[in-house]
Amino acid sequence: MIEAVKYGFANYARFDGRTDRATFWWWVLAVVLAFLAATILDGGLANGRMEPFSTLLVLVIFLPHLAMGVRRLHDINRTGWWVLAGLIPFFGTLLLLFFYVQPSHPAGERFDPPGPAPMPPEPPPAA
> What's the whole-model pTM score?
0.79
- For residue range 55-65, what is the model confidence (pLDDT) as tens digits? 999 999 999 99
What distance in Å separates the CA atoms of residue 30 and residue 53, rounded to the nearest whole number?
A: 16
Average of per-residue pLDDT across 83-112:
90
What distance in Å separates the CA atoms of residue 82 and residue 93, rounded to the nearest whole number?
A: 11
112/68: higher pLDDT = 68
